[in-house]
């Protein structure tokens, strides 16, 4: 990977991070699809009594995946009971300080942009908008790979899924603008 591609990736990562920060802080995209649970105090008390200090991602109602009748039992359990996913952190284990997660988010987006810049440098895409479209399509593929599956399999709200699509695809587009601009500049001799 040449220094030109590395700089394009760094600039693209910065642009993507700025966009996703705006999307989550200044726009409502980061909160769409979330709502407060009715009877939250009672639910929190029951979760803490049941799970205690055991961090985890829980699927309910649970049916042992090794059970040969798993599909039938799961269908029956879902018909008779509430169902869903629960991400549980005991008291004091959730995100309380934004600095660490913001740094991790930036590093993730930097890696994404470096990969996109590298792929653009390998592709035969001769125009600015072709390069922008190439990076944007990488973002479309990535968001479909995760967020669409969460909607299909786990019933994530459509509003959450659409907001995630917008956030991710616009992030790829913004990174693509910067990467396409930088890689399209004439090399100085």
Rounded CA separation 12/10 (Å): 5
State yes or no: pLDDT of 189 exceeds 60. Answer: no
Q: State how beta strands 84-88 and 56-60 pair.
A: antiparallel
Q: What is the pLDDT of residue 1?
A: 73
Q: What is the pLDDT of residue 187?
A: 56
CA dihedral 128, 121, 173, 150 (to 10 degrees): 150
Q: What is the pLDDT of residue 125?
A: 85
pLDDT band at 186 (very low <50, low <70, confident <90, very high): low
Contact criterion met (CB below 8 Å) for 176 and 135: yes
**What is the per-residue pLDDT across 130-140, written as a single tens digit (0 to 9) for each?**
999 999 999 99
Contact criterion met (CB below 8 Å) for 82 and 38: no
Q: How far apart are the first and last CA of the chain?
A: 19
State yes or no: pLDDT of 188 exceeds 50. Answer: no
CB-based burial, 114-131: b 16+ in 10 Å, e otherwise: bebbbebbeeebeeeeeb
**What is the per-residue pLDDT across 86-100, written as a single tens digit (0 to 9) for each?**
898 988 887 878 888
Note the helical H segments in 66-157: 70-80, 99-122, 128-143, 149-154
Residues with Cβ within 8 Å of 148's Cβ and at least 6 positions away in sequence, in order, are 161
**What is the per-residue pLDDT across 101-117, written as a single tens digit (0 to 9) for each?**
899 999 999 999 999 99
3-state secondary structure of 32: coil
Both structure tokens of 55: 């961090």
3-state SS, one letter per residue, for 121-145: HHCCCCCHHHHHHHHHHHHHHHHHH
**What is the per-residue pLDDT across 167-185, written as a single tens digit (0 to 9) for each?**
999 999 999 999 999 998 8
């Amino acid at each position: 990977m040449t220094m030109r591609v590395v700089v394009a990736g760094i600039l693209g990562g910065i642009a993507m991070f700025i966009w996703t920060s705006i999307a989550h802080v200044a726009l409502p995209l980061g909160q769409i699809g979330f709502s407060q649970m009715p009877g939250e105090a009672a639910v929190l008390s029951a979760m803490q009594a049941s799970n205690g200090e055991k961090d985890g991602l829980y699927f309910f109602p649970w049916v042992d995946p090794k059970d040969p009748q798993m599909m039938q039992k799961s269908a029956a359990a879902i018909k008779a009971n509430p169902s869903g996913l629960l991400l549980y952190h005991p008291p004091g284990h959730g995100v309380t300080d934004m600095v660490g997660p913001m740094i991790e988010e930036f590093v993730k987006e930097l890696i994404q942009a470096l990969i996109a810049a590298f792929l653009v440098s390998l592709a035969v895409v001769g125009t600015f908008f072709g390069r922008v479209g190439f990076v944007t399509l990488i973002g479309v593929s990535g968001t479909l790979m995760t967020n669409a599956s969460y909607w299909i399999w786990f019933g994530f709200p459509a509003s959450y899924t659409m907001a995630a699509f917008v956030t991710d695809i616009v992030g790829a587009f913004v990174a693509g603008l910067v990467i396409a601009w930088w890689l399209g500049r004439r090399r100085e001799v």
